[in-house]
Amino acid sequence: MTDLQVRVRIPRLGYLMVITGAALFGLNGGVSRVAIGADIDVETFTTLRITAAASVFALAALVLRPSALRPPRGRALLLVIALGLVGVAGLQLTYNIAITRLPLGIALLLEYLAPVLIVLWVRFVRHERVHPRMWVAVALALGGLAVVGQVWNGVTLDALGVAMGLAAAVCFATYFLLGEHQSENADPLHVIVWAFLVATLVMNMVQPVWTTPSLGGTTSMLGRLDAFAIAPWVAVSVVVVLGTVAPFFLMLLALRHLPATVVTMVAMLEPVIATVLGWGWFAESLTVVQVVGVLAVLAGIVTAQTARTVEPDLLPPP
């Protein structure tokens, strides 16, 4: 790591990026429901979302930094392939399947086991010191998510849905760990462009984008906004730009200023926002107990901010 890389770390900027990205991801859940409600199956929707996002990233690189379009080589290529396969395509597909087979709160709880996986990885694989407060933060956050998801209600869980939710947690953790590794010595735009291009290639092998049904006509805004309708292409556009391009890039940029353990903990704002959105938009219940769960997640996030014993400038180079 160079002295320049140490000096450009701005933790406050990193927190702002993560919070903004989490808010956009949380809002994206509602808009995605509207888009999928326009008779688009999960696989097709995932392919369309990733392909369109890759096009936006590539266009941005062409205008802002053409060098980002140069194919990576050697070890960098392998890391980008892994990021695209697991952290982008794998994450999107497994999570979308999970939310179609499980209650949204349960699916989110499973996906957000990712911070636990990351803490275990940096502690036992990287052998980095983790302050005991980090374990308290993880317990608060996961406990709060369990309360928000009301896991005690005795829901009969679909086996495939649970498997996909756990797979989403692995993919989510992988995205942040690989992104943190890449952010140390690579251009974030170069990384995200090629990761999404890899994901686009994979998803089009699963479900070609040209099988997407017409996005014309109108579709209901659902929930409390059911009286309103928009064109499906508008919903898809919002999902692509504000629900994919912006938050994915913000999260990757944040890893230049904060370690993956902290980024994933702050990103837990996403299910909190999604739960509040479900109450306000889709008239889903939000009990007093669930509010307590939301507060526990926030407490976990605050605790995580003070739990690092290895400062970013002391982390070993990749």
Q: Find out whether 131 and 254 touch, Cβ atoms under 8 Å.
A: no
From CA 49, how far away is CA 64, in angstroms rounded?
Answer: 22
Q: For 210-260, write each residue's pLDDT tens digit.
A: 999 989 889 999 888 999 999 999 999 999 999 999 998 898 889 888 888
Q: What is the mean pLDDT of residues 71-96?
A: 91
pTM over 0.75, yes/no: yes
Q: What CA–CA distances, in Å, run from 48 to 24, 60, 180, 272? A: 18, 18, 27, 26
Residue 30 has a CB neighbour count (10 Å cut-off) of 21
pLDDT band at 126 (very low <50, low <70, confident <90, very high): confident
Q: Find out whether 202 and 84 touch, Cβ atoms under 8 Å.
A: yes
Q: For 8-61, write each residue's pLDDT tens digit.
A: 778 899 999 999 999 998 888 888 888 888 888 889 999 999 999 999 999 999
Q: Find out whether 24 and 242 touch, Cβ atoms under 8 Å.
A: yes
Q: For 257-315, write each residue's pLDDT tens digit.
A: 888 878 877 887 887 887 788 788 888 777 788 788 888 887 887 777 666 554 444 33
